[in-house]
Structure 1
Amino acid sequence: MFSRLFRLSRLSRFSRFSRFSRFSTMLWRLLSALECVLLAVSLQSVPQKRRCVFRVTPRNRVRFSAAGTVSSSEQRCENTRCCVGNFWVEAGRAEPQVLACDLVEKSCPGPSCTAQPRFSGIVKCVCNTDFCNGNLSWSPEEEEAPSSSSSSSAGILLLLLFLLLFLLLLLLFLQWRCGSVQLLGDAWRPLQVVRRGRFTTVFKGRLGGRAVAVKVFSASQRRRFEAERRVYRLPLMSHAGILRFLGAGRCARGDGRFLLLQFAQQGSLHSFLSSHSSSWTSSLKLCWSLSRGLSFLHSELLLHDQHKPAVSHGDLSSSSVLVLADGTCVLCDFGRRGSGTRASGAGGDRATLSPQGGAWPAALRYAAPEILEGSVNLSGGPGSFRLQGDVYALALLLWEICMRCQDLFLGKSSTWHLLPYELELGATVSLETLVQHVSYMDRRPSVPEHWALLPQGPALAELLTDCWDAEPDARLSAQCVVDRLMSLQSRSSA
């Protein structure tokens, strides 16, 4: 009996083991099949690099080259599966301006490059097949053809109604806020005046628990207000190197206007340098952030059906640059000379350099030689000479910052804060004196001789020389200044 039980027990264990073995085998096969399926799906889901026709203008080459590897007229996309084309329409013909990989991943469901009108004179297309941006599906009638879809029209109308309601509420809020900013009112009496000028007054206030700057324009300065607001409200204008714009409106009392702006904790670059000397790292941070902001301002952007034109500052000085709490610079005060959006007459830019109430404007010493001489005509709008004039002023600002850098003076105390040409021409200058010194004598601010003994000294001196060259076309671009400063930073940290 015991032997029979023993045999039954062995048979039972063997049966359980056999069932377990068959189950394990089935499970292993199932997992193997699942692994194969997942592997096949994953291989299919790996996006193949899109190939697009590559043809851009010289100004856009650097920006669109970063979207993928370029080989002759072909580009292999790195971050997107979309090819893009931007075309300039003239006389019924579409001429390509940008053919490349798109800069960022976005929806491009169509296999062919079908025109999408953007604004007058420009059409755009995106597509998702190789070299599809080389053939534009477009006809002149399509550019101005209205939509025939009633549902689409109703949706647009509803959107416009919501937008109108939002703008109305925003206007009521800004008018209420501006009423609180009056100089004669009581609501903002505890707030301090940050800067009081001839045409504007800047207050420090609080909005939603954070500090803000409120720049109030007198009634006679409406054109200055409109010019500055127009720059701040350009599409794609948000950047770390540009003072953040929060709103604008009309004051409740009187006919004044105001801009609501980000508050810069350390004030203007002029006041910062007057009270601070810096290390090489801090000075390089100021220079790099300032140059990066100007490079962004000078750049032309096309993104998500929005266009930001290249904009010149036109009045760059240490008073029109602010310093944030983190030690970086931001650009502001775009409306003094129109920021490259208005001409000052056929006589060049000398008209804007006339004395104001017997005193020359502070930015006169930052004016480029061609502007001091009046040899350029600004009636053509924001041309390249305006951008090159900004680069000249940028060089003087970089010199101004570096002259307060403790590490560039071999352990000695750095010099006190000097404005450009203050050492050579004194604290006050005239237009005639500057023309004689800068244009006729081709002199620039003095670069300390001992910089030649410093590791970063020769490269820094060369950068300044290449930016304040007498020939506008020989000057570096703002983006090239950014690249050189990054190279200096790499050498310092190596």
Structure 2
Amino acid sequence: MWLYLVIFGCLSLCVPAPAVEQGRSCVFLTSSRNSRNMEEGRVNGTIQYCAHTNCCVGFFRIIDGQPVAELQGCKMVVGGCLDPTCFTSTTHLDYIRCECSSNLCNGNITWNAEEKQPQLKHSSHSTDMVTAIVVVLGMLLCTLVVAVKCRHRFRGYDDKQHLSLPEESLTSLCSCHISKQSDMDLTSMELQQESIHIVGSGHFASVWQGSYQGTTVAVKVFPTWCKQEFTVEREVYGLPHLVHAGIAHFLGAGRKSDSGDCVLLLELATCGSLSSFLSKNSSDWTTTLKLAQSLSEGLAYLHSDFYRHGVHKPAVAHRDLSSNNVLVRDDGTCVLCDFGSSTILRSCAGPHSWQRYMVNVQSQVGTLCYMAPELLDGCVNLSSGWCLIQGDVYSLGTLLWELLMRCSDLFIGCPVPEHRLPYEELHRQP
């Protein structure tokens, strides 16, 4: 417990320290747990004169509803403390602490017993351990489930249907030979181009709220110079059997008659991107699991490779999976979108041929903080379909972390952290 208290004492706010007043005196508790605080200043009986800081600190254990001092002295880490009195309303397990900036202020603590969290009543390390274990196991379990589903579906091809068809039939039904879709007639489309109706914008396209045949839709508009990205995304959405609750529903594609810009019509996800959703909302454990499950199932289906009803659905590597490329519906589920960087892993050589399949990929793409280290280091063969799939699964792991860091049930007794991108701290460094 003494080590826990010392570590807890070191966790202070990174506030610039005020000028140290010579002779700041704090109540000092003589005990084996307080031995390290001896280095923070001269001790005379029950008083310590701080040498490095202007702050006193106190740790108290709640016994029978009353605070009993277990550590008192000068603050071990140089930092600011604004309150001149030893007051706190935060209870961690059965401990409370305070930092204060007046002489002997840590002698008595004032605290609000009513704000003690009932879930944290038991004085043990088990609560912290359970929280940490739940986070780790939750991420591992979700990633494992997706990896198993991806491997099973991507490998399968639905063997029963495959065995019931001759090899030449399978080749003729391969997705390589699927005819291209024709353009939609967009003359009845109304695009609400006021700034309040813009849904999002990226490197290659902007998304607006619009109306088509009386239905509110998302209208993704590609300028004429982004035709390649439009073609790739349209081709992915047009694949056979690419209809799944975890993938944005595709309504059609065409060109605007006035400008010639390329247009995709998609379902409108009213909660916007996952990044926007997490920046505005924290969620409880049930909601977090719903978001994570729908996200994982959508990616597993995107990676799946099978024949169904005599038609082949090839595997697709997303290659730019990030919280900006995931949408949130109003029912609290996630859907994948933005397939402009994706690669379709077409194969006509029979079941399990994905293991040998090579694709024509010349360069890596994606959002840096979501990319696997081996991709960033250039240590993998980008023409390997399996490596691209693995890269997506790594990105999924970072998204699960992003979700869990906004789960209020994992931060009982303390504020939920603000939404952060993976490795955001590293990107902020000069």
Q: Normalising by structure 2, report the TM-score.
A: 0.55
Give the Cα–Cα distance (whole angstroms) in 2 for the partners of residues 335 and 402 of structure 1: 28
For residue 323 of structure 1, report the CA deviation from its aligned partner.
Answer: 0.3
Native 8 Å contact 2:316 2:342 kept in 1: no
- Among candidates 385, 394, 400, match of residue 398 of structure 1: 400
- Among candidates 245, 248, 265, match of residue 243 of structure 1: 248
Q: Residues 216, 408 of structure 1: CA spacing in aligned structure 2 closer, same or farther, 3 A cutoff?
A: same
For residue 370 of structure 1, report the CA deviation from its aligned partner.
Answer: 1.4
1:399-431 CA-to-partner distances (Å, cap 9, x unmatched) read 0000000000123211000100113x14479xx
Name the SS of the counterpart of 2:231 in structure 1.
helix
Q: Residues 372, 115 of structure 1: CA spacing in aligned structure 2 closer, same or farther, 3 A cutoff?
A: closer
Give the Cα–Cα distance (whole angstroms) in 1 for the partners of residues 237 and 165 of structure 2: 33
Q: Percent identity?
A: 44
Native 8 Å contact 2:155 2:305 kept in 1: no
Name the SS of the counterpart of 2:295 in structure 1.
helix
Native 8 Å contact 1:218 1:256 kept in 2: yes
Establish whether residue 211 from structure 1 lines up as the match of residue 262 from structure 2.
no
Q: Residue 370 of structure 2 aligns with which residue?
A: 366
Name the SS of the counterpart of 1:260 in structure 2.
strand
Native 8 Å contact 1:314 1:340 kept in 2: no
Give the Cα–Cα distance (whole angstroms) in 1 for the partners of residues 154 and 185 of structure 2: 42
For residue 253 of structure 1, report the CA deviation from its aligned partner.
Answer: 2.2
Q: Residue 314 of structure 2 aligns with which residue?
A: 309
1:90-147 CA-to-partner distances (Å, cap 9, x unmatched) read xxxxxxxxx4xxxxxxxxxxxxx67485343679xxxxxxxxxxxxxxxxxxxxxxxx
1:168-226 CA-to-partner distances (Å, cap 9, x unmatched) read xx84x524146x44xxxxx8669711113342111101234432100000000000000
Establish whether residue 324 from structure 1 lines up as the match of residue 329 from structure 2.
yes
**Count of aligned positions:** 264
Give the Cα–Cα distance (whole angstroms) in 1 for the partners of residues 258 and 208 of structure 2: 17
Give the Cα–Cα distance (whole angstroms) in 1 for the partners of residues 266 and 221 of structure 2: 11
Native 8 Å contact 2:234 2:264 kept in 1: yes
Q: Kindly provide the amino acid, as one letter, of the partner of residue 218 in structure 1.
A: P
Q: Residue 171 of structure 2 aligns with which residue?
A: 120
Native 8 Å contact 2:198 2:207 kept in 1: yes
Q: Kindly provide the amino acid, as one letter, of the partner of residue 293 in structure 1.
A: G
Q: Residues 315, 428 of structure 1: CA spacing in aligned structure 2 closer, same or farther, 3 A cutoff?
A: farther
Q: Kindly provide the amino acid, as one letter, of the partner of residue 273 in structure 1.
A: L
Native 8 Å contact 2:314 2:345 kept in 1: no
RMSD: 3.2
Q: Kindly provide the amino acid, as one letter, of the partner of residue 410 in structure 2.
A: L
Give the Cα–Cα distance (whole angstroms) in 2 for the partners of residues 301 and 226 of structure 1: 23
- Among candidates 214, 223, 226, match of residue 231 of structure 2: 226
Native 8 Å contact 2:211 2:217 kept in 1: yes
Q: Residue 412 of structure 1 aligns with which residue?
A: 414
Native 8 Å contact 1:313 1:340 kept in 2: no
Native 8 Å contact 2:271 2:329 kept in 1: yes
Native 8 Å contact 1:277 1:406 kept in 2: yes
Matches within 5 A, 1:100-119: 115=166, 117-119=168-170
Q: Kindly provide the amino acid, as one letter, of the partner of residue 395 in structure 2.
A: A
For residue 364 of structure 1, report the CA deviation from its aligned partner.
Answer: 1.0
Give the Cα–Cα distance (whole angstroms) in 2 for the partners of residues 239 and 85 of structure 1: 20
Higher share of residues assigned helix? 1
- Among candidates 257, 260, 263, match of residue 262 of structure 2: 257
For residue 63 of structure 1, report the CA deviation from its aligned partner.
Answer: 6.4
Give the Cα–Cα distance (whole angstroms) in 1 for the partners of residues 256 and 154 of structure 2: 45
Q: Residue 176 of structure 1 aligns with which residue?
A: 187
Give the Cα–Cα distance (whole angstroms) in 2 for the partners of residues 237 and 391 of structure 1: 19
Give the Cα–Cα distance (whole angstroms) in 1 for the partners of residues 222 and 165 of structure 2: 47
Native 8 Å contact 2:154 2:315 kept in 1: no
Give the Cα–Cα distance (whole angstroms) in 2 for the partners of residues 242 and 337 of structure 1: 14
Name the SS of the counterpart of 1:174 in structure 2.
coil
Q: Residues 64, 250 of structure 1: CA spacing in aligned structure 2 closer, same or farther, 3 A cutoff?
A: closer
Native 8 Å contact 2:188 2:213 kept in 1: no
Establish whether residue 290 from structure 1 lines up as the match of residue 341 from structure 2.
no
Q: Residue 286 of structure 2 aligns with which residue?
A: 281
Q: Kindly provide the amino acid, as one letter, of the partner of residue 174 in structure 1.
A: D
Matches within 5 A, 1:453-464: none
For residue 251 of structure 1, report the CA deviation from its aligned partner.
Answer: 1.5
Q: Kindly provide the amino acid, as one letter, of the partner of residue 335 in structure 1.
A: G
Native 8 Å contact 2:234 2:253 kept in 1: yes
Name the SS of the counterpart of 1:319 in structure 2.
helix
Q: Kindly provide the amino acid, as one letter, of the partner of residue 302 in structure 1.
A: Y
For residue 379 of structure 1, report the CA deviation from its aligned partner.
Answer: 3.4
Higher relative contact order (CA 8 A, sep 6+): 2
Give the Cα–Cα distance (whole angstroms) in 2 for the partners of residues 288 and 428 of structure 1: 33
1:425-480 CA-to-partner distances (Å, cap 9, x unmatched) read 14479xxxxxxxxxxxxxxxxxxxxxxxxxxxxxxxxxxxxxxxxxxxxxxxxxxx
Q: Normalising by structure 1, report the TM-score.
A: 0.49
Give the Cα–Cα distance (whole angstroms) in 1 for the partners of residues 288 and 258 of structure 2: 44
Give the Cα–Cα distance (whole angstroms) in 2 for the partners of residues 217 and 62 of structure 1: 34
Native 8 Å contact 2:154 2:305 kept in 1: no
Name the SS of the counterpart of 1:327 in structure 2.
coil
Name the SS of the counterpart of 2:315 in structure 1.
coil
Name the SS of the counterpart of 2:185 in structure 1.
helix
Greater C-alpha Rg: 1
